[in-house]
Amino acid sequence: MNKKDIVVGLMILVLLAGAVYLRQRGGEEELKVPQTLSTEDKIEEKFNLVIPEGVDKAELKDVSGGTSSGLATRKFEKSVFEHSILADLPDPESGKFYEGWLVKGGELISTGKLKIAKGGWMLNFSSKTNYSDYSKVVVTIEEKEDKTPEKYILEGSF
In this predicted model, what pLDDT tens digit does every residue of 50-104 receive, in sequence order?
A: 777 889 999 999 999 999 999 999 999 999 999 999 999 999 999 999 999 999 9
Around Cβ 139, how many Cβ atoms within 10 Å?
Answer: 28
Q: How confident is the model at residue 30 (pLDDT cuts 50, 70, 90)?
A: low
Whether the CB-CB separation of 138 and 99 falls below 8 Å is answered with no
Per-residue model confidence (pLDDT) at position 149? 80
Averaged over 134-157, what is the pLDDT? 90
Hey, what amino acid is at 66?
A: G
Q: What pLDDT is attached to residue 124?
A: 96
Q: Say if residue 132's pLDDT is above 80.
A: yes
Mean pLDDT of 21-29: 67
Tell me what pLDDT residue 110 has: 95
Per the DSSP assignment, residues forming a β-bridge with 108 are 103
What does the pLDDT average to over 20-48? 67
Q: What is the mean pLDDT of the chain?
A: 86
Burial of 63 (0-12, 13-18, 19+ CB in 10 A): middle
CA 154/CA 88 separation, integer angstroms:
10
Instruction: Report the C-alpha gap between 88 and 65 in whole angstroms.
Output: 14
- Per-residue confidence (pLDDT) for residue 156, from 0 to 100: 97
Confidence tier at 142 by pLDDT (50, 70, 90): very high
Quickly list H helices, 36-79: 39-47
Res. 32: pLDDT tops 80: no
